[in-house]
Structure 1
């Protein structure tokens, strides 16, 4: 992403989650922040109302697979089928036949890379990992405060746990105060 602009790209994987995603959306709304949610298709089917809220509030959605498999352990055919199923489920919400794709655990395979090029389906990773899947909210905030977060960075969070919400409650005002703005990918 362009580094000249003061835009920070917050991204959230593994949702939607009924307990954690709505409060996260409220926090983003309070700070005028937009983000990108890389959703798991099976979760989208369970919680379509949360997905609709994400889209209605101006956030972007992306494909994080249908079942969150370990892609390298699947055949090429099964990888592509999983991605296609999730694309179809998410198309109902934004009308796009192909969604941005973020592979589970950030593990792109030859199949997903070739698919990205052939189908012109953006494959999106991140430049900063919050580690919110291993650390509590205070540790995440402290870790990210020590890093140099700049415009153009894509920060990975997860909305299937509470650490992102707690950390961002502290970080959003700080980042906004430094001139960063929050945009969807």
Structure 2
């Protein structure tokens, strides 16, 4: 079951997509499809949500989205560089979409200290119709999930015990939805 706070933000994104007549595609790594699940919980979303690529491993990021091996080797998958290539790659693969977002990160456990809880999110927009037009990046940002959880605590009472990793996934999904909404409202 998707928490209500994610459904609320996903609903706001759907309303913005509807108002602007835009279609969205996403690429998820560390959230494992949680954002897509939030969208597909909404009736009528198929008019505006093209789909999601869950690209958890490096090889999948490279083969499905065209993320360059050099990018992963130099910056790893927990980087704005990788998030940027994921968003642009999934948009390139989805001609009917006018907007794309991607998320990648390391939500633990056993993460290197500098990457523990880090997420990178990119949002790309197609500024002109046709595949010949190059998309533009609206945002590419890095966030620390634990800091986000302190700033905006999750406003729900889970019926089961959640791990830190699961709380980070929920926080990351909410942040991705908020960046998509910001892009639509700009």
Question: TM-score category by the smaller chain?
Answer: 0.3 to 0.5
Name whichever structure is richer in strand by fraction.
2
Larger RCO (CA within 8 A; separation ≥ 6):
1
Please report the TM-score for the alignment, with normalisation by the length of structure 2.
0.34
TM-score normalised according to structure 1 size: 0.34
